[in-house]
Structure 1
């Protein structure tokens, strides 16, 4: 097992970035719902597109009024309930899920309902508070009685604990959090109105533009501007706040200036960056250009201030957040009557940003080519993960992008202790045999993945789930865990990367002597089907005292989710991640079959049951993986006549 070095002390900026990323992770998965609400608002409110285009054709008695919730249907429709209930509940659900998966999500949604009912404004800030808090609370409660519940009562305790916790949190949100957040929202709204009324709103760019480059934009945008803007849009049909950070004009002007007056790689890559930024909406591609010449932040600030000023003058705004910050997203959310103002704000911001950046670049006295690669590395360090878009701009000549450096690989499966442990062992050996000893290969449950890995390997049925947890990583899907051809491709990929950053790797733990007792080895299994074989392996674990009986059904459930067939005649059935409370200690069982069992169309001669608790079994799994990729060792297992011979082959020190 690889052991990561102790995490260094983090500065205030990094903590704020993490908070911003967390807030962003609650909002971004639900942007589709915001867009749907924006379209419903644009089409069906009393001054929406349909009524504006058709005049009196659709009046207060029409189906349009019914959907929009106006006229004779002032208390019905879709628009109002969507922003009042659906969007905050989705945010609360997502926040709870981030903290504690599905149970956290459900309790988070219940708690969010409390703050919604306790206020008269859209409760986005309340949802951002109650969702994660609820997830944390139910996670702590589950930890209090983990392993102490008698078999057969787990579902009863789980359901009642979630229900009781949700009810208590909803009540607390109704009487406590809701009124406080409502008061804060009104106060913040008054501040915004003051800035608008006194012509001071453009000054916000002095803070927002540097915050974007320092990756504090998520904390500002999704923590403050999106909730306040949504509240304004619910009342007025639009909000200028959605354009304070999302306006692509400042970045576009700066990149055009680099295209015309820059040097070296910065000049050649600027046109591509401008397209990615303006059309793709990925604003971070221009951050390295500012970081390598920090004074250019003045161009972004000037452009941002002009853009905000134009929107203030024209009273323009968006109906919902523009995410990503593409000009396409901006126009898709532009409110009726705001197209001229929004267009001029983008053009004005781009023009002023270009002029200021051009002057700064032309008067710059520094010699030599600008180090865009170093600036990009600085940006990625602040961001905390690789920027795929920025890496693409630094590709090799001829348009082929360089392969990002790969130093951290994770093999992911449902539980993180069986298939992934053996797959990681095989891949780790291949990588080290190829001379890449500094590359770490670890195994984890998908639910425990973080977006800090360079490459993720998973079974093809699980890749989509893994991708949601690690969107910045490269993903490789496999089917045969023992001899997957993709392992060779991964090794070949490593030869194309730049110098990987080494990470300390601890020696594998010594296998515990009682992980595989002789009584848990059967030379001639009695099962005829894969289901019976799973039960047979599970009964051996039960007899050894490694698990409760409830672990065996969890082994069958795991098989229904994803096959545990590993290749080379081996299957390793084990329980789901949720069944870890049924494990008393780490244990393995081995069953050999004279007549291969049909395992979802693949022949299996050896079934190894796994109960993974801690790291005791990992060294033995590592050895088993090495055995089953060695034909000679497999023949030794097939020819073994005693349990001790089987154990000797599997438990030998590598």
Structure 2
């Protein structure tokens, strides 16, 4: 039975995805500016009056840096994410308007205070920057879209400069009169809420929200949207903030992984020590999330540990000078305020100890059941990657460990199928790469083909899918060996599969069956060349960068112009990315529609665009974006050739070195056929 595709509605799942995307966007604005926050923290630690080496002149850097520089940097990054450098510029100007508006409001309020009352301090416009940076860039992008193609030749630069100036001016007025009072009110409410939690000793209860949010990748919205702005303001007034430790404390994750190292079973126990090292010293907290998802009652353990750590910091009145990103013990200690080392280190130790004890009790209580279902860990890793919604080297490493012991087939492998959502692009290229590896290894009698997950026949020996599709593939092929990969071009799992196939052939010792011997016939029929599928006018080279949406829009535009697809195909491409990323590895992405988009495809065609500035493709860097439209198997032969080319780093460099579209087209057209 075909697994139904998820409905795109306002369900709890789609709400979670929305919060994840929002949090990821906030993280994208904050994380690149963490070095600036660290530099500001060092100026504070060394040179303010109560710092390690007080210096009155150098201390004057602290105030302007936090009040002007850091918000403007955040706004520029947010603007750049939406509309490149132009968006960054207008976002920065708009944020200056909000900063000035906030200062004006606070000056008016302080002037009205009775003599002797404490004046309000500055509100640092971090939240304002996170609003105005992307918003201003979006407005600029819309204005540029309206003006595109309507400016008389010779006046483009003049119009570009003045339109940018007018947008920046207008958005800075919005910042002054609209965003500044809004953010001041938000910061006042949030600040009072935190003060109340601290004064009533309830701050440890925030772990009830934060720890589960981390496991489901919802923490970025809380951390970067609320805790970082409040924490930075608190550091400005008090020199440290406990808020930076609510989410970053590595103790709960360490305690959980140590419990699995001692009392876990199967792949979970075997992988836990390595994961503990990555989590505690590398600061990659997501490696412990699969262990919690495998046994959700362990949320009690990490909540208890997190609350213990927060309570310890409250008791000792300790904190950090800035965000600890990533949440490594090295980052935590490096950002610890002077005089807070004992409390901070103790908070990590006690959080780990409490989590270890509670998790150990839970694991021991369910040990008998765990021994009967020790393979749940691989499923939990896949679920974690699906929850995150993008690839992760750390989680892929766990997946490899999880499947390492279970991937040894006990039967002869004669039929391998690559499965993707639509069965027309990524799976075809992956099948080609593996087919060549098996051929190079001198192994015969093995059929390697590609299909959509929904079209899996039910009698396959081995199925290869991306992590997000493995569960669906298992439903279609319950008796097959399943291998999950993160990248179809350069997946390290390919070598393991080749060795598995070799071993199964040696163990069986039988002649290839008739069906297996026909494996070569399952490959796309050879053609003399790309023909009309990839013509010169569909190859483009761009010196700059583009967003993922812009790159997909261009691919769809070329395919529409080629009369290969209808206007609806772009929406199908976007729907495909929401399900599974089409990033293939080796700087290649191949956007194409979902299996339900067949009606939008009129003919087979490819588009090729090279972006020398790169495209951020769901967290991966793509240089080449190949749009695909396929009717039947007409396009599979050239996809097979492209797969051969992009499977080798040296040939990818040759493609990047091509100076003209014609040269690039000729390289793509001259790939050696197998």
TM-score interval (norm. to shorter) = 0.5 to 0.7
Mapping of residues 528-547 of structure 1, within 5 Å: none
Aligned residue for 1:379? 384
Q: Deviating runs (4+, > 2 A) in structure 1?
A: 5-10, 393-402, 405-409, 426-446, 448-459, 462-477, 482-493, 562-565, 624-631
1:253 and 1:350 in contact (8 A); partners too: yes
Q: CA deviation at 1:183?
A: 1.5
| Distance change in 2, residues 1:457/1:252 (3 Å) | closer
CA distance in 2, matches of 1:398, 1:139: 46
Aligned residue for 2:57? 66
CA distance in 2, matches of 1:207, 1:398: 32
CA deviation vs aligned residue, 1:20-48 (integer Å, no higher than 9, x gap): 11111110111111111111111111111
| Distance change in 2, residues 1:400/1:362 (3 Å) | closer
Aligned residue for 1:516? none
CA distance in 2, matches of 1:397, 1:373: 5
Mapping of residues 93-108 of structure 1, within 5 Å: 93-108=76-91
Matched, 1:245 2:228: no
Aligned residue for 2:354? 352
CA deviation vs aligned residue, 1:471-511 (integer Å, no higher than 9, x gap): 4479999xxxx999995375589xxxxxxxxxxxxxxxxxx
CA distance in 2, matches of 1:34, 1:387: 25
| Distance change in 2, residues 1:484/1:34 (3 Å) | farther
Equivalenced residues, count? 468
Unmatched 5+ stretches in structure 2? 103-121, 408-416, 437-447, 453-487, 490-533, 550-576, 589-609, 626-637, 650-655
Aligned residue for 1:114? 97
Q: CA deviation at 1:453?
A: 3.9
Aligned residue for 2:644? 488
1:263 and 1:370 in contact (8 A); partners too: no
Matched, 1:141 2:153: no
CA RMSD of aligned residues (A): 3.9
Q: CA deviation at 1:221?
A: 0.3
Matched, 1:447 2:576: no
CA distance in 1, matches of 2:363, 2:406: 27
Aligned residue for 2:162? 160
Q: CA deviation at 1:227?
A: 0.7
Matched, 1:389 2:394: yes
2:20 and 2:220 in contact (8 A); partners too: yes
Q: CA deviation at 1:128?
A: 0.4
Structure of higher CA gyration radius: 1
1:388 and 1:472 in contact (8 A); partners too: no
Q: CA deviation at 1:141?
A: 0.7
CA deviation vs aligned residue, 1:178-212 (integer Å, no higher than 9, x gap): 11101110111111011101101001001110111
Partner residue of 1:18 out of 7, 21, 26: 21
Partner residue of 1:48 out of 24, 37, 51: 51
CA distance in 2, matches of 1:245, 1:282: 12
| Distance change in 2, residues 1:112/1:254 (3 Å) | same
Partner residue of 1:216 out of 215, 218, 236: 218
TM-score (norm 2): 0.63
Unmatched 5+ stretches in structure 1? 52-63, 69-76, 410-423, 494-561, 566-570, 574-606, 609-620, 632-654
Aligned residue for 2:661? 572
Mapping of residues 56-455 of structure 1, within 5 Å: 64-68=55-59, 77-119=60-102, 120-364=122-366, 365-367=368-370, 368=372, 369-395=374-400, 437=450, 446-449=545-548, 452-455=581-584
Determine helix, strand or coil for the equivalent of 1:466: strand
CA deviation vs aligned residue, 1:595-653 (integer Å, no higher than 9, x gap): xxxxxxxxxxxx79xxxxxxxxxxxx7xx77754589xxxxxxxxxxxxxxxxxxxxxx
Q: CA deviation at 1:172?
A: 1.1
CA distance in 1, matches of 2:83, 2:7: 23
CA distance in 2, matches of 1:407, 1:86: 49
2:250 and 2:348 in contact (8 A); partners too: yes
Q: CA deviation at 1:394?
A: 3.3
CA deviation vs aligned residue, 1:544-590 (integer Å, no higher than 9, x gap): xxxxxxxxxxxxxxxxxx7544xxxxx426xxxxxxxxxxxxxxxxx
CA distance in 2, matches of 1:401, 1:453: 27
Matched, 1:466 2:598: no
CA distance in 2, matches of 1:21, 1:438: 32
2:645 and 2:671 in contact (8 A); partners too: no
2:267 and 2:402 in contact (8 A); partners too: no
CA distance in 1, matches of 2:151, 2:53: 59
Q: CA deviation at 1:9?
A: 3.6
CA distance in 2, matches of 1:485, 1:630: 7
| Distance change in 2, residues 1:328/1:484 (3 Å) | farther
TM-score (norm 1): 0.65
1:261 and 1:361 in contact (8 A); partners too: yes
CA distance in 1, matches of 2:394, 2:61: 38
Q: Which moved more, 1:360-369 or 1:99-108?
A: 360-369
Aligned residue for 2:35? 32
| Distance change in 2, residues 1:406/1:105 (3 Å) | farther
Q: CA deviation at 1:6?
A: 10
| Distance change in 2, residues 1:84/1:464 (3 Å) | farther
1:237 and 1:319 in contact (8 A); partners too: yes
CA distance in 2, matches of 1:303, 1:397: 26
| Distance change in 2, residues 1:7/1:455 (3 Å) | farther
Determine helix, strand or coil for the equivalent of 2:50: coil
| Distance change in 2, residues 1:211/1:87 (3 Å) | same
CA distance in 1, matches of 2:146, 2:670: 40
Aligned residue for 1:583? none
